[in-house]
Structure 1
């Protein structure tokens, strides 16, 4: 491991910005004989490709691989900035670990940094200690933050005691025996008053800065209490907080009885550690005479990877936590011996039973070892799955004329011959005999892919739409430099594994973990791991995974990698249809920039489309189909031409207001996530911002953004808008949008839990800071006579008048401290109760904004992301329109107004009906603005009102969509 000395650490670097910091670090490296002076250019280039900020105030500036020749000797220089430096995008760095990397000796330090950034205590010590020795100890992993230890020998179950006082004395006695070092006053500890958390659960907690944090628990029964538990712990600071959170979670979940009636110490251990099986489970015994050692563990990892799901495995006869079954080392750490019970857990999915049966079947076969018959007196848990595996049914090819639903990744229509690209098969051996050679092969392949990506960045740098492509390519470069990816693969090779097998195993593990992220946006980034991984794998195996199809065609594939999009020629690839994928994936972002229609998530059936088919792709209406006649082809081509002409005309007239033929003007505004999107929205004809998703400001930071940071962002928005409407939704997180630095309990159904305004009421000070920032930015803009702010603030997820009044009072409290700004205050209508009670809300607010996406989800009881039911969750359903009409009537009766900021606002039929219902403002994605304004200019308000009246009494969403303005 690379050694560090005091000379490598500067506790008070004299730098005021990032550029000075990079220069200072390189000068220290030059003085230490580590690098040539030109290495600085490599550091600057690396920062331009992707920020080296890791998190929690730590950055790792280093050069590019091209500058390795300038490294004389591998080394590290540490620079501390006590006041912090702005590194990028408001990220503040207090400690920079500068790296001069000639080889891979620095990877050990990087692995330790991953642990440090996840610990607030270690990070704070790193940034504030006055001792260079302590900095070195922290970086080398020799100064870990204390954690609360829960050890199986310190747990007792089934004790017969007369009183809880006896249990308290027993727990103290257990800790006294287990405690190392100087003795504390155990007698005084026994006299401390415990906290009674439930009728049969007590907790005794004492602080001690000398002893390591640890816990003892005694589960007992007495004449008065059939089942009870006494817990005593020694702690320091807030080390015990995660354990306390776990106890509270058990109480909220009604699982305290399981805790107090645990049948054995192992069960009690798992409950106290927060270990419990999730999803479907199956249990089996280990039939291996030598237990789960390296060879069968490797076989199990390969099987799990082939299943494509996360598998949790637990040794029910051990004393450790469950582990993910995608790591050989973690599986070996289970200590599973012959006869031990393994419990597999997989999140519920349509194929979970088959997946569990496969695991049980392969374990029974021995996982490559010769299995030994198990004694008959070793029963398996009752939870074991005994149902036979269902036969896999191949997906049938779609029929001509049959619509296949998908999601619009990039808009547009296309008609053409189909080219179905099957998934690439990489052929390689798992075993290899020369680890050094395999390591070198992997390094060479990664270097080749790095060079290709950099060349792609240079090419895209000359194109108008290059920015997004450059950012995504830069992110792919960062993945290739990630030590958790490279190092984990390198660690598998000494187990006599080939470079291909080690690399594929590692990147597929990371992709699977990312895929299961509850945040859909983040889950879709799994495609980037597989994209980068397959590029390296194709180099290692010499596999050509490029399409040689040169005639114009519609590409059909399993998933479109982002790296392939810049290589597609829109004149050749008319459109792309995929079996899987997401609308916010990087491939979708690039396809939109390239102008290539993309329909994603159509299911495996599209891969069965016959090769001689003519395909019609309609991304705007979210379907594709095989043309069943020449007439169908000609009709689709005519429709495509009509739509393209309409888009052209709409774009040419995008600055004209949306005034109906009989003179009624609608306000068409934009949904944006930050101020940088506003100018583009204005250029496309937006008349303001109707939904500013402020949560994205919070997501850009590793901790809550300060009032000043928020004022800067909101101030930029107001400056760009120049008096146009600026409707800001207050922090809307929770549900599918967690904040990593905001404590939120795991909920069984987060969409019906603590989110939006409900979360703000739990953290009122955070909401008040946001309100303060909004009002301060408005007051600052108000000083400009030519830019009077038009600020409107609204609260999300309101369902009850008492919630509204509480939030309104918080706003009043902030206004009292920052007077002088005139602004409107309103609420989102996303929950049916808000629409049904809109007449109660209306007298107390200025406006409503209807979020049709969530309102539809809650009204129809359908998750809008559900793979089979989402098509039924159509926001144009009469039940949704009736709630909007009810809200409009309530607002009209109290001089208020109603806007709509969901997908329905940009819907070709929905926008006209909303206008007819009396909605005054339509807010939508930026690209939908020109065409929506054009459609509204083509109808009269009389037609829109007649259409709306018919829609309110229609029997289904399909019936509403059949309505046409020319019929009225």
Structure 2
């Protein structure tokens, strides 16, 4: 049979060859027609529902802890959302109404969750993905109520490529990267839970392939091209060999330079201890984005100063010769923390989040975090850099820096060992891209968060598949914004880095070097590939590529330039 290619969205820049196993959880529980209502005892069914909820809660807590250990607390936090759904009054009321109407508990759960799922499906972006979360909770409850066995994804044969309509967080967390070659789904986007877990597990994955996926039969040999977003069905021998050759570059533990000697720092984005370990194993020069939110999740009150101090000290100690860039608490938007009583906002991504809360309602938390960070830096060997999230004005940055200076002064006066940190800001908003010269004159560094910057520059929700072509950092407007930020640091003492998804895409490394970035920070899974690309790059040629990209008027033109450059380098 001639090979054919299905196209979707690449979730990880890795490739794999394997044999298809279809995962169809809907077939595991086939609810028969409900009995007549006169034979159903509502009190008994309500008790069954409550019992199933309690068992589901226990399962979710166990899976959350396992996922946190394997892929990190940021990703595992989705299970906390599932636990919240179990206790949602609106959903609980809908299920109990169905029980009172004469349905057994399992049928009541199916009906009671339906309107919530439909409501989320009608939304866009990340909110639409909550429909999958609700399905996951619904299916778990139904399985427990009917006593069905859970389909085990943890014991699949070596070389399996999992095909599915969709994979929920519970499904993806079961996958063993030592045996599963990769996975492919019909639905989903790059920011879906399945895609995020794939990157954390270093699994080749393609999502959002569409209905064509159903035509591929169980047992078929496929190549999963996670970088290109392609699934090659019945690949020929040459395609298989190429996929095997591009699986993983050699780990480089030393800093790298371009072919003509320009040093580029290659750092890792981390969120908790297991990711820090992975970053050191894969050769990270340091940490370019330390998400501190994980310390505040899965608890009933915020961590105290000593808890934070220990966590930060351990991270700095892991990179004694490197730099650790810590983003201060970035909550709001899609990062709810129940005990902080976040307001309900019509558009939370444009609301009270990041530095806006740290300088306002969360100022005490902010000072505690700064104290813990600066104390940790005074004790550990690694260099600390503090970075503020979602800055939009010079005043916000200056206010944040003043808070850092005040904490340093207090600790010094108290006789505490202190290491004065670098202080910088994320560039995530068009406002800071325009204000980059003013910020570079005041900050020690600027770090571009391309996920949000692209979203705001292009007015395209980063989680909305319908505008995925717009939410693409190869759009000329984004490329020009990046160059504007880099140019603002030239002739100053400030360095400039990038910690968004763009930094970890090896196909874009030459462009970023050409634009002038000093540091690139990414998921640990792509560290080796990016370091290898840097060593093969000539800075002058990279600058020529960047100049041509800056002159481009369309994303298609930028794509052509990158394809040509990557093709020339790979020959």
TM-score category of the 2 structures, normalised to the smaller one: 0.7 to 0.9
The 3 A distance-change label for structure 1 pair 439 and 586 is farther
> Which residue of 218, 229, 246 maps to 1:643?
246
> Which residue of 435, 443, 462 maps to 1:837?
435
TM-score normalised by structure 2 residue count: 0.78
> 1:410·1:596 contact (CA, 8 Å) conserved in 2?
no
The 3 A distance-change label for structure 1 pair 881 and 518 is closer
Distance in 1 between residues matched to 2:281 and 2:15, nearest whole Å:
21
Report the Cα offset of residue 551 of structure 1.
12
The 3 A distance-change label for structure 1 pair 767 and 526 is same
> 1:847·1:896 contact (CA, 8 Å) conserved in 2?
yes
> Which residue of 384, 396, 415 maps to 1:803?
396
> 2:269·2:290 contact (CA, 8 Å) conserved in 1?
yes
| Paired position in structure 1 for 2:206 | 599
Per-residue deviation, residues 715-756 of structure 1 (Å, max 9, x unmatched): 222233325211111222222323333354443333333322
Distance in 1 between residues matched to 2:151 and 2:419, nearest whole Å:
63
The 3 A distance-change label for structure 1 pair 878 and 537 is same
Summarize the alignment of residues 869-884 of structure 1 with structure 2, pairs less than 5 Å apart. 869-884=467-482
> 2:12·2:227 contact (CA, 8 Å) conserved in 1?
no
| Paired position in structure 2 for 1:812 | 405
1:431 is paired with a residue whose SS is: coil
> 2:430·2:456 contact (CA, 8 Å) conserved in 1?
yes
Per-residue deviation, residues 317-342 of structure 1 (Å, max 9, x unmatched): xxxxxxxxxxxxxxxxxxxxxxxxxx
Report the Cα offset of residue 687 of structure 1.
1.3
| Paired position in structure 2 for 1:194 | none
> 1:658·1:667 contact (CA, 8 Å) conserved in 2?
yes
The 3 A distance-change label for structure 1 pair 704 and 966 is same
Summarize the alignment of residues 306-455 of structure 1 with structure 2, pairs less than 5 Å apart. 403-408=6-11, 411-414=14-17, 423-424=26-27, 426-432=30-36, 433-435=38-40, 439=44
Matched, 1:498 2:96: no
Distance in 1 between residues matched to 2:139 and 2:509, nearest whole Å:
38
The 3 A distance-change label for structure 1 pair 741 and 830 is same
Distance in 2 between residues matched to 1:790 and 1:543, nearest whole Å:
47
> Which residue of 481, 492, 502 maps to 1:894?
492
> 1:559·1:578 contact (CA, 8 Å) conserved in 2?
yes
The 3 A distance-change label for structure 1 pair 410 and 703 is farther
| Paired position in structure 1 for 2:369 | 770
> Which residue of 490, 505, 517 maps to 1:919?
517
> 1:418·1:614 contact (CA, 8 Å) conserved in 2?
no
- Size of the aligned set, in residue pairs, is 540
| Paired position in structure 2 for 1:671 | 269
The 3 A distance-change label for structure 1 pair 554 and 814 is closer
The 3 A distance-change label for structure 1 pair 553 and 671 is closer
The 3 A distance-change label for structure 1 pair 539 and 561 is farther
Question: Higher Cα Rg: structure 1 or 2?
Answer: 1
Per-residue deviation, residues 428-472 of structure 1 (Å, max 9, x unmatched): 12234544699599969x89x979x99xx99xx9xx999549998
Report the Cα offset of residue 884 of structure 1.
2.3
> 2:189·2:463 contact (CA, 8 Å) conserved in 1?
no
| Paired position in structure 1 for 2:301 | 703
Gaps of 5+ in 1: 1-399, 782-786
Report the Cα offset of residue 637 of structure 1.
1.9
Distance in 2 between residues matched to 1:843 and 1:662, nearest whole Å:
29
Choose 435-444 or 803-812, whichever is displaced more.
435-444
Matched, 1:961 2:567: no
The 3 A distance-change label for structure 1 pair 691 and 594 is closer
Matched, 1:559 2:139: no
> 2:501·2:522 contact (CA, 8 Å) conserved in 1?
yes
Report the Cα offset of residue 544 of structure 1.
9.4
Report the Cα offset of residue 590 of structure 1.
7.0
Report the Cα offset of residue 426 of structure 1.
1.9
Distance in 2 between residues matched to 1:862 and 1:939, nearest whole Å:
32
Per-residue deviation, residues 213-243 of structure 1 (Å, max 9, x unmatched): xxxxxxxxxxxxxxxxxxxxxxxxxxxxxxx
Report the Cα offset of residue 892 of structure 1.
2.3
Choose 597-606 or 947-956, whichever is displaced more.
597-606
Distance in 1 between residues matched to 2:152 and 2:407, nearest whole Å:
59
| Paired position in structure 2 for 1:865 | 463
Report the Cα offset of residue 585 of structure 1.
6.8
> 1:944·1:965 contact (CA, 8 Å) conserved in 2?
no
Per-residue deviation, residues 457-508 of structure 1 (Å, max 9, x unmatched): 99xx9xx999549998xx79x979x788999978965754335423434566
| Paired position in structure 1 for 2:543 | 945
> 1:899·1:920 contact (CA, 8 Å) conserved in 2?
yes
Distance in 2 between residues matched to 1:606 and 1:823, nearest whole Å:
51
2:552 is paired with a residue whose SS is: coil
Report the Cα offset of residue 896 of structure 1.
1.6
The 3 A distance-change label for structure 1 pair 469 and 486 is farther
2:366 is paired with a residue whose SS is: helix
The 3 A distance-change label for structure 1 pair 596 and 875 is closer
The 3 A distance-change label for structure 1 pair 467 and 821 is closer
Per-residue deviation, residues 180-232 of structure 1 (Å, max 9, x unmatched): xxxxxxxxxxxxxxxxxxxxxxxxxxxxxxxxxxxxxxxxxxxxxxxxxxxxx
> 1:878·1:960 contact (CA, 8 Å) conserved in 2?
no
Structure with more helix by fraction:
2
Distance in 2 between residues matched to 1:863 and 1:953, nearest whole Å:
26
Distance in 2 between residues matched to 1:587 and 1:470, nearest whole Å:
14
> 2:11·2:196 contact (CA, 8 Å) conserved in 1?
no
> 1:404·1:602 contact (CA, 8 Å) conserved in 2?
yes
Per-residue deviation, residues 153-182 of structure 1 (Å, max 9, x unmatched): xxxxxxxxxxxxxxxxxxxxxxxxxxxxxx
Distance in 1 between residues matched to 2:359 and 2:454, nearest whole Å:
25
| Paired position in structure 1 for 2:381 | 788
> Which residue of 513, 533, 536 maps to 2:141?
533
> 1:846·1:897 contact (CA, 8 Å) conserved in 2?
yes
Distance in 1 between residues matched to 2:393 and 2:314, nearest whole Å:
34
If asked which structure has higher relative contact order (CA below 8 Å, sep 6+), I would say 2
Distance in 2 between residues matched to 1:734 and 1:665, nearest whole Å:
36
Report the Cα offset of residue 550 of structure 1.
9.6
| Paired position in structure 2 for 1:580 | 187
TM-score normalised by structure 1 residue count: 0.48
1:560 is paired with a residue whose SS is: coil
Distance in 2 between residues matched to 1:695 and 1:570, nearest whole Å:
26
The 3 A distance-change label for structure 1 pair 952 and 788 is same
The 3 A distance-change label for structure 1 pair 580 and 900 is same
| Paired position in structure 2 for 1:259 | none
